[in-house]
Amino acid sequence: MILSSYVIYAILFEDVYHFSQYQAGLTFAPLLIGGLLAIPVMAVFDRLTYQKARAEAIRSGTEVQPEKRLYPAMLSVILLPISLFVRHMTYPLTGQDRLPSFCDLHFEFQSGFDHIILTL
């Protein structure tokens, strides 16, 4: 469902809001920003949770539970509904042509963040 909204973005902004191809392409910039900002967040979660569990497993001679890598995904599960709420509650308030791309900023940031978290 989330990825299907990306397919229609270029068509929506070019046909409905009369963006050029360049401007429509810029509406995907928050995906890049979200993906780049997710990398340090992943590093923090790795250092605070997984590395401690790994050190403990090495000391005790056991293996690390795979669930210890799920903490960033848990953060994502909390933030994604918030971003969807912000996205859909701000659409009726937009009266200008170019404002919907700003309403999607949080959603696209969160989606980029999710893509990085779920692939690492």
HEC string of 29-52?
A: HHHHHHHHHHHHHHHHHHHHHHHH
Distance, in Å, from the CA atom of 25 to the CA atom of 105, rounded to the nearest integer, reads: 13
Confidence grade of residue 98 (pLDDT, cut at 50, 70, 90): very low
Radius of gyration of the chain (CA): 18
DSSP 64: P
Question: Tell me, what's the pLDDT at 59?
Answer: 94
pTM for this one? 0.65
Neighbour tally for 13: CB within 10 Å: 23
Using the predicted structure, report yes or no on whether residue 64 has a pLDDT greater than 80.
yes
Cα separation of the two ends of the chain: 21
- Regarding predicted confidence, which is higher, 107 or 32? 32
Q: Cα angle at 117 between 111 and 63, to 5 degrees?
A: 160
C-alpha 44/C-alpha 6 separation (Å) is 29
Angle between helices 71-90 and 29-45 in degrees, nearest 10: 150
